[in-house]
Structure 1
Amino acid sequence: MYLLKSVLSVFPFCILFHILMVYQGRKAKESFRTVHFVWAYLLILYTSLVFSVTGSVTLEEAVRAVGKLPVMADISWIPFASGLTFPMVLNLVMFLPLGFLLPVLWDRFRSFGRVLTAGFLCSLVLELGQLFNFRATDLEDLLMNTAGAAAGFLLWLLLMKLLRIKIRWKGLRSGSFLVRHEMEFLMIFAFLGHFFLS
């Protein structure tokens, strides 16, 4: 219920953002396809789900944490001390959609290095956020999430090669400011929906 509420609450802001993005993008002669926005809202839904499943910090938890500093001892610095476990595999699977969706949506993410960096940074934000609600933060989670994003990119690349005749759409290029930073805005909207309404 909280997840549905947070997702639906950010949709109006996303729609307004996309109206402004299309207006600005057309001035820069950017072309838009309906399929791009379908994938974009799937990304918002996916990101909101990740914030919910991982227990990302909420407003209530942040208020409770005021005056309390994150404890560095809560970070597990030694990865894979227990070997490869099922939760680690789930962490990898959880970030597969991110690595797949980024190159589908944007040309600038049709690079293994950029998707790897984006996966690492998104995972880092999640892990650091867990320090503020006093949940466990693991280096192995960071590594497995990043590996999941990389695997998602490789899956996209494989599908593009196998189905290159059928997959015709192009990701948006970095024309205008809003197009260039659409991914960042969508991630922020999804986080704010979770932060204030979960």
Structure 2
Amino acid sequence: MSIQYSISSPIVLGPLFVLVLLALMLHARVSKTRYTVRQYVSMLAFAIYMLGVMHFVFFPIDVNIGIYANQTPWYQSIQWIPLLTADAPSFLLNIVLFIPLGFMLPFIKSWIHSIRTAASAGLALSFLIEITQLLLRITLGNGRSTDLNDIIANTTGSVLGFVILNLFTKSSIGQRLLALWESPQGVSSKNMQ
């Protein structure tokens, strides 16, 4: 049996967005922790950002099975040599894609308070993305490749986002805006390293 079709992002991410909203509302109802409206806005903004990341890194998902399947073995689609095979525009776009992660995570998770933890979070998410892309390639014949350069670029973007936030929180404008915002996890220049 041969199958060939494409899955667009709204088909998956639309219902996923509704599930995220329902999960936030359910969490508000049953949780003993009470969040402010600002905290929910932060969580919702982060969820929308993550849906955007998923849109760019996974979709469209091309399903190619049977005679339509890519005949190149999946392990040949992995870019094993970092930096030497880097495509500069893709590398820069991956950095830009992950800058918001490093900037937003300290507002969502209090343990993100240093370059090391921001890098760890960026590395973990990037690794998860690359493994998922590899599994989609193996199971559905999707044309996305697994690339070590993406992991390096994404981690770099996460660190840059954290550094930008750190510089921002130390500026007078940043301190005034953060005081107005009353961040969910107490992000301030005092707890940034």
1:120 equivalenced with 2:123 (yes/no):
yes
Give the whole-Å Cα distance in 1 for the aligned partners of 2:84 and 2:178. Answer: 42
1:74 equivalenced with 2:73 (yes/no):
no
Give the whole-Å Cα distance in 1 for the aligned partners of 2:17 and 2:127. Answer: 25
Residue number among 159, 162, 170 corresponding to 2:183 in the alignment? 170
Residue number among 12, 17, 20 corresponding to 1:11 in the alignment? 17
List alignment gaps of at least 5 residues for structure 1: 174-198
1:107 equivalenced with 2:110 (yes/no):
yes
Indicate how the Cα distance of structure 1 residues 71 and 7 shifts in structure 2: closer, same or farther if over 3 A, else same: closer
Aligned residue identity for 2:127: L
Q: Verify the 8 A CA contact 2:77 2:146 in the aligned structure 1.
A: yes
1:36-73: CA deviation from partner (whole Å, max 9, x where unpaired): 22222222222222222223584x73x8499x9x7222
Indicate how the Cα distance of structure 1 residues 18 and 75 shifts in structure 2: closer, same or farther if over 3 A, else same: same
- Which residue of structure 1 aligns with residue 28 of structure 2? 22
Q: Verify the 8 A CA contact 2:98 2:154 in the aligned structure 1.
A: yes
State the Cα RMSD in Å: 3.0
Q: Residues 29-178 of structure 1 correspond to what in structure 2 (within 5 A)?
A: 30-55=33-58, 58=61, 61=63, 64=65, 71-82=74-85, 85-131=88-134, 132=137, 133-162=142-171, 163-168=174-179, 169-172=182-185
List alignment gaps of at least 5 residues for structure 2: 1-7, 187-193
Kindly, what percent of the aligned residue pairs are identical?
Answer: 25
Structure 2-normalised TM-score? 0.72
- Which residue of structure 2 aligns with residue 190 of structure 1? none
- Which residue of structure 2 aligns with residue 187 of structure 1? none
Give the whole-Å Cα distance in 2 for the aligned partners of 1:87 and 1:101. Answer: 22
Q: How many residues align?
A: 166
